[in-house]
């Protein structure tokens, strides 16, 4: 998410208390991913930088309980970034896997014969 945001003009800032902790995910009702993201109760955090400002081309899809940006999506293109590590959970969170799978299935090129 940081790389995506920075590419589109965001600035990052150093943050504290974001390493090896869990957050409640607060999902923006305006996100097109609301139904899937809202099924994810909490996410992990392993970062020392957060987004200071975000381009108007993006919607904040989710924050944590303190208002730190945890997910973003481009308003025009199929670009989504999350600020948690699904791969660090064992066992994997079923709701996170469902979201990731649905995102890629919904945004994959369609076969002209389908």
Choose the CATH number for 2-106 among 3.90.180.10, 3.40.50.2300, 3.40.50.880, 3.40.1180.10.
3.40.50.880
Q: In 3-state terms, what secondary structure has residue 13?
A: strand
pLDDT in tens, 24-40: 999 999 999 999 999 99
- Phi and psi angles of residue 37, each rounded to the nearest 5 degrees, phi first: -65, -35
Token pair belonging to 68? 């730190």
Does the structure show a pLDDT above 90 at 105? no
**What are the sequence ranges of the domains in the chain?**
2-106
How far apart CA 114 and CA 77 sit, in angstroms, is 23
pLDDT of residue 64: 92
pLDDT of residue 113: 54
How far apart CA 11 and CA 28 sit, in angstroms, is 21
pLDDT in tens, 43-75: 988 888 899 999 999 999 999 998 999 999 999
Does the structure show a pLDDT above 60 at 111? no
């Amino acid at each position: 998410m940081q790389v995506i945001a920075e590419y589109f003009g965001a600035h990052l800032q150093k943050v504290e208390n974001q390493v090896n902790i869990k957050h409640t995910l607060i999902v923006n009702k305006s996100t097109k991913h609301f139904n899937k993201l809202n099924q994810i109760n909490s996410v992990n955090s392993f970062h020392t930088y957060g987004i200071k400002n975000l381009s108007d081309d993006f919607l904040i899809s989710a924050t944590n309980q303190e208002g730190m940006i945890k997910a973003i999506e481009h308003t025009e293109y199929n670009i989504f970034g999350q600020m948690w590590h699904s791969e660090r959970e064992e066992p994997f969170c079923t709701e996170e896997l469902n979201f990731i799978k649905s995102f890629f299935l919904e945004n994959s090129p369609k076969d002209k014969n389908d």
